Amino acid sequence: MSGSDNVLFQPEILLNETFTLAECPNWDGQKNRLYWTDILSGKLHALDIASGDRHVWNFDSELGCFGLTDAGRIIVALRKDILFLDPETDERTTLCRIEDGIKSRTNDGKIGPDGAFWVGTMDDNADKQPIASLYRITADGKIEEKAQGFKISNGIAWSPDGSNMYHSDSRGPWVNRWDFDVASGNISNCTRFLDLDDTLGRPDGGAVDMEGCYWSAGVSAGNLNRFAPDGTLLLSIPMPMPNPTMPCFGGPDMKTLFVTSHQEGYSAEKRAEFPDAGKLVSLRVEVPGVPVTRFRE
């Protein structure tokens, strides 16, 4: 990253590579490494921030989301299968499979403060219907359906103390907030947090900072939006591409936001018009992010 990192809220292109559907950035503070997925190509990517070293792991289906584990592995959600990847040896171990019986695939997911892998799905038909679900997956391979009735489950993030969980439907388009029990992983008292639109941006991936503010990738409007805990819009930062997909906090002080984007369905003309679509950006912010928990193996 360049010397202008200290300019607040100014997105910069992180690396000069383009992806079709980059999503689910994850920060590994122990290795100073950023991970992300290019969902449709079934690839998991890693970038060493200091050296610029790159690594790519290939899978045989879409890779919707993933998270880091407390044993140094990565838990990966493919189209239906959940497995472990050892990033050092490339060893892969299947944990379980989401058997929902519909044409769906995994989408946004994140490790919760309860140490479980929370994975949402999406209707994989062109005419999206509210048939997708949100699942909680634990190290014993148990899959528990926690909520249902979504078109594209998205936007999972937790408040700094873990007492609230945010969850969106990109085609709602809305963000809900649940009471969250860290000890049990139970969710209750769902309330509407935000109703959004294409102008400000339908809610894609999300993250929360230490002031409890919710950052949402406004995927339909080219914005990264920061909302106060009461839902007030505090910032709307234009991105250098039309379709940002998900933010995550990282860097030594957790004050760098990494944001993925997509160019899925772009024509050649649109790709030429928006050459930064599908790239990753970074920007410096004032308030550090909430560190994401590691999966409890």
Taking only Cα atoms into account, the Rg of the chain, rounded to an integer number of angstroms, comes to 17
Query: Which member of 28, 114, 123, 204 is catalytic?
Result: 204
DSSP 126: S
Q: What are the backbone dihedrals phi and psi of residue 251, each rounded to the nearest 5 degrees, phi first?
A: 85, 165
Q: Is 204 a catalytic residue?
A: yes
Q: Assign residue 63 a region (left: φ > 0; alpha: ψ between -120 and 50; beta: otherwise).
A: beta
CA 44 to chain centre: 13
Mark 262-275 as b/e (b = at least 16 C-beta within 10 Å): bbeebeeeeeeebe
106, containing H or E segment: strand 104-111
Q: Most distant CA pair in the chain: distance in Å?
A: 51
Cβ–Cβ under 8 Å, residues 197 and 213? no
Q: What proportions of the chain, in percent to the nearest 5, are helix, strand and coil? A: 5, 50, 45
CA distance 176 to 116: 20
The three-class DSSP label of residue 4 is helix
Residue located via tokens 């969106």: 168
CA distance 20 to 194: 28
CA distance 262 to 245: 7
Residues annotated catalytic, as ranges: 204
